[in-house]
């Protein structure tokens, strides 16, 4: 393969792959975090990991062929993959309930063998955290906690400048800290009760709204919907219009997140908590309650010291960027 | 200064200094963790940091003079200090309530200037954790959490092989995770309610015993004492003799520690939890409940994976060893 001078200028590109339950997105990323091109396949179209990897490799080769005047595979330093239940230590996706493949899938090795480049893999929350450190608002920070408020609550923890992976690659499951320690705790998908994620995920916010609609007489535009159809986005929209009940839902959610962050601070004393995901788009409607609650509930030595920020990758393709950052952090 | 061959063989000694509210202990330590000599002064005899440092330096020079045939100051690589509220980043003791000195004391710099060797300082729980990593049962571990069950509950967290200090040097305050999140939570010295340490410290164990004596009719040798005189050691002794109520106190304490460890696992997914301090001497009377409770209460992915161990430094001078390890880890 002949590498032109132009290609040499483009050294050090990375491929980022964001695997979700619905789509798998592939992108080619510059060191500055610009996505030069991207493409996607439907995860659920591939019943076996082998067929998925074949389709992914084809997708990458098509992107490379379409851009052959600008770069080639020789410009690609490596590939990073973010996936649910991705284990950094083993490079495997392990028993992911929302993906079509069963058991342990050595995806990192499978892609690496087909492409001939190094591949690193981790879970989606960790990928987002590394993405934030390399391309986002925490470039200069060595100690921060990223909290992803999506369908569930995910997290990634950076301490001493490094992401904490844990002994089995399962660190950063802060969505499963117990916040309500009795039989009244909401049932969690992990099989236990009272986990943070049952209250502060998008699903949890919708449930809080349904409970408040049922248990109070507060006027609300949410009463125009069938309770079972209410989603977190409806609560966000209502709150942004000043709907009292929706604002109360965000206050409840923010106060619990603030208490959780107060506990997280006892662990790693982070400089900042970074919020990412759909609910974080509510901005101050949620963030001000998190910060107030933290400053009220944290140990005195931690109060008014931590920053509360929204991710710098919210309006960019965070999945691809985060995944590409995994390979940057690794090789 | 002439260094003999004998002295050359003794290169790389370190000084460990363990500062407590009552005594400050000084020791000279080999790379293998043997304490060659040690000495102590009474912390409370010195109303100013300057007088304390002068006395400490004199104490060290006396140890050196007494051993001048074996080693000299030229053999000392550096000094490590473990102290309450010691901040690793600044080298200062910051507003320590149990020490005679007020405000911010730059102890590391003061000792270093007088002795002419590098000095590193951290809090006592972190020093114990580094000591465990260098001389104890976690030599081969990169991810573990050390929990010190003393008058309070202290902790040190090692992830990716490094101690987590946190942005302000205040990481590892796990004794202040909230375990009882309502007005029934016990009042904590930190000004809040329901902290782990109000239940699982020596003080907390004594309080649990007093509560059980008051609220139950269970026979117990502890009823022979005035409730206010009951200490954790009395509970330990009674439990070791099979006293039902004392055993119940340990069960309650162990179950709460197990639940706390279940939350800690979501953070850093450690290979092991190491217990240190007076209460850990209760051994299986406490440890079996911690492990059982963890395996019942942790997220399924963490169950039966973590080790529960007693510190390898329990019967050695852990304070001096831990402090000396700080300098080993640093320089």
Give per-residue pLDDT as tens, A171-184. Answer: 999 999 999 999 99
CB of B134 within 8 A of CB of A134?
Answer: no
- Whether A309 contacts chain B with CB within 8 A: no
Total number of domains constituting chain A: 2
CA angle B192–B196–B201, rounded 5-degree value: 110
| Paired tokens of A105 | 């899938």
Question: Quick one: closest CA in A to B156, which residue?
Answer: A267
Report the distance separating Cα B20 and Cα B86, nearest Å. Answer: 11
pLDDT at residue B9 above 70? no
pLDDT on residue B316: 80
Which A residues, 90 through 119, put their C-beta within 8 Å of a C-beta on chain B?
Answer: none
- Rounded to 5 degrees, what are φ and ψ at A298? -75, 160
Please check whether residues B88 and B192 belong to one and the same domain: no
* Average pLDDT estimate for B7-13: 68
Best of B84, B142, B144, B167 to disrupt the A interface (most A CBs within 10 Å) is: B167
- Whether A187 contacts chain B with CB within 8 A: no
Q: Do A192 and B297 touch (CB under 8 A)?
A: yes
Task: Say which DSSP state B322 is in.
Answer: H
Report the distance separating Cα B24 and Cα B41, nearest Å. Answer: 5
Q: Which of A213, A289, A203 is nearest to A246 (CA)?
A: A213
| Paired tokens of A202 | 């998008």
Please check whether residues B67 and B184 belong to one and the same domain: no
The CATH number linked to B224 is 3.30.420.40
- Whether B276 contacts chain A with CB within 8 A: no
Please check whether residues A123 and A209 belong to one and the same domain: no
What 3-state DSSP class applies to B134?
A: helix
pLDDT at residue B7 above 60? no
Using 50, 70 and 90 to split pLDDT, how confident is the model at B317? confident
* Average pLDDT estimate for B200-213: 97
CB of B319 within 8 A of CB of B285?
Answer: no
The CA distance from A122 to the nearest CA of chain B, in Å, is 15
Please check whether residues B121 and B161 belong to one and the same domain: no
Instruction: Give the global pTM.
Output: 0.91
Please check whether residues A111 and A77 belong to one and the same domain: yes
Please check whether residues A166 and A125 belong to one and the same domain: no
Question: Quick one: closest CA in B to A174, which residue?
Answer: B266
Using 50, 70 and 90 to split pLDDT, how confident is the model at B4? very low
Question: Quick one: closest CA in A to B182, which residue?
Answer: A180
| Paired tokens of B186 | 């016990």
Please check whether residues A74 and A203 belong to one and the same domain: no
Using 50, 70 and 90 to split pLDDT, how confident is the model at B3? very low
Rounded to two decimals, the ipTM of the complex is 0.91
pLDDT on residue A327: 86
Nearest to A171 among B175, B176, B269 (CB): B269
Which tens digits make up the pLDDT trace of B258-299?
A: 999 999 999 999 999 999 998 999 999 999 999 999 999 999
For residue B182, give Cα distances in angstroms to B97, B185, B290: 27, 6, 23
Nearest to A173 among B172, B266, B270 (CB): B266
Write down the residue that tokens 């006396």 correspond to. Answer: B62
CA angle A19–A23–A26, rounded 5-degree value: 60
Write down the residue that tokens 């200094």 correspond to. Answer: B17
- Number of other CB atoms surrounding residue B18 within 10 Å: 27
Q: Do A268 and B157 touch (CB under 8 A)?
A: yes
pLDDT over 70 percentage in chain B: 96
Q: Do A142 and B167 touch (CB under 8 A)?
A: yes
| Paired tokens of B148 | 């010190």
Please check whether residues B37 and B96 belong to one and the same domain: yes
3-state secondary structure string across chain A: CCCCHHHHHCCCEEEEEEECCCEEEEEEECCCCCEEEEEEEEHHHCCCHHHHHHHHHHHHHHHHHHCCCCCCHHHEEEEEEEECCEECCCCEEECCCCCCCCCEECHHHHHHHHHCCCEEEEEHHHHHHHHHHHHCCCCCCCCEEEEEECCCEEEEEEECCEECCCCCCCCCCHHHCECCCCCCCCECCCCCECECHHHHCHHHHHHHHHHHHHHCCCCCHHHHCCHHHCCHHHHHHHHHCCCHHHHHHHHHHHHHHHHHHHHHHHHHCCCEEEEECHHHHHCHHHHHHHHHHHHHHCCHHHCCCCEEEECCCCCCCHHHHHHHHHHHHHC
Residue numbers in chain A where pLDDT is lower than 70:
1-11, 330-331
Please check whether residues A296 and A147 belong to one and the same domain: yes
The strand pair at A272-276 and A144-149 is best described as parallel
The CA distance from B2 to the nearest CA of chain A, in Å, is 41
Q: Tell which wins on pLDDT, B328 or A32.
A: A32
Q: Do B166 and A269 touch (CB under 8 A)?
A: yes
Using 50, 70 and 90 to split pLDDT, how confident is the model at B136? very high
| Paired tokens of B7 | 């002295």
What 3-state DSSP class applies to B90?
A: coil
- Whether A302 contacts chain B with CB within 8 A: yes
Q: Tell which wins on pLDDT, B327 or A315.
A: B327
> In which element (H, E) is residue B329 found?
helix B318-330
Structural domain of A32: 5-132+317-330
CB of B265 within 8 A of CB of B230?
Answer: no
Please check whether residues A166 and A216 belong to one and the same domain: yes
* Average pLDDT estimate for B1-23: 72
Which tens digits make up the pLDDT trace of A52-104?
A: 999 999 999 999 999 999 999 999 999 999 998 899 999 999 888 788 998 89
CB of A139 within 8 A of CB of A326?
Answer: no
| Paired tokens of A41 | 């396949």
Nearest to A268 among B166, B175, B269 (CB): B166
- Whether A296 contacts chain B with CB within 8 A: no
The CA distance from A113 to the nearest CA of chain B, in Å, is 28
- Whether B152 contacts chain A with CB within 8 A: no
Which tens digits make up the pLDDT trace of B70-105?
A: 999 999 999 999 998 899 999 999 888 788 998 899
Please check whether residues A104 and A25 belong to one and the same domain: yes
| Paired tokens of B2 | 């002439």
Please check whether residues B321 and B304 belong to one and the same domain: no
| Paired tokens of A258 | 């603030």
| Paired tokens of B121 | 């300082």
């Amino acid at each position: 393969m002949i590498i032109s001078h132009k290609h040499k200028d483009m050294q050090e590109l990375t491929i980022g792959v964001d695997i979700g339950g619905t789509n798998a997105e592939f992108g080619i990323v510059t060191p500055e975090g610009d996505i030069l091109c991207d493409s996607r396949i439907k995860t659920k179209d591939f019943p076996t990991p082998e067929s998925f990897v074949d389709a992914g490799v084809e997708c990458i080769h098509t992107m490379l062929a379409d851009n052959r005047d600008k770069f080639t595979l020789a410009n690609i330093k490596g590939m990073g993959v973010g996936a649910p239940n991705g284990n950094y230590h083993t490079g495997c996706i392990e028993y992911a309930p929302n993906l079509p493949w069963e058991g342990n899938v050595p995806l990192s090795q499978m892609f690496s063998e087909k492409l001939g480049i190094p591949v690193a893999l981790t879970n989606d929350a960790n990928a987002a955290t590394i993405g934030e450190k390399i391309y986002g608002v925490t470039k200069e920070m060595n100690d921060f906690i990223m909290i992803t408020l999506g369908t569930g609550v995910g997290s990634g923890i950076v301490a001493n400048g490094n992401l904490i992976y844990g002994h089995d690659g399962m660190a950063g499951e802060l969505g499963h800290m117990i916040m309500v320690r009795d039989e009244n705790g909401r049932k969690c998908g992990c099989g236990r009760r009272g986990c943070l994620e049952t209250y502060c995920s998008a699903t949890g916010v919708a449930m809080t709204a349904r409970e408040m609609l049922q248990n109070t007489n507060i006027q609300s535009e949410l009463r125009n919907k069938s309770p079972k159809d209410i989603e977190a986005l409806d609560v966000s929209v209502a709150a942004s219009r000043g709907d009292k009940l929706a604002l109360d839902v965000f206050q409840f959610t923010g106060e619990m997140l603030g208490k959780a962050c107060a506990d997280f601070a006892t662990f790693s004393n982070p400089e900042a908590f970074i919020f990412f995901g759909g609910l974080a788009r509510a901005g101050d409607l949620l963030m001000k309650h998190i910060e107030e609650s933290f400053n009220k509930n944290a140990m005195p030595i931690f109060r008014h010291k931590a920053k509360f920020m929204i991710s710098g990758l919210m309006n960019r393709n965070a999945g691809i960027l985060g995944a590409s950052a995994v390979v940057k952090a690794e090789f």
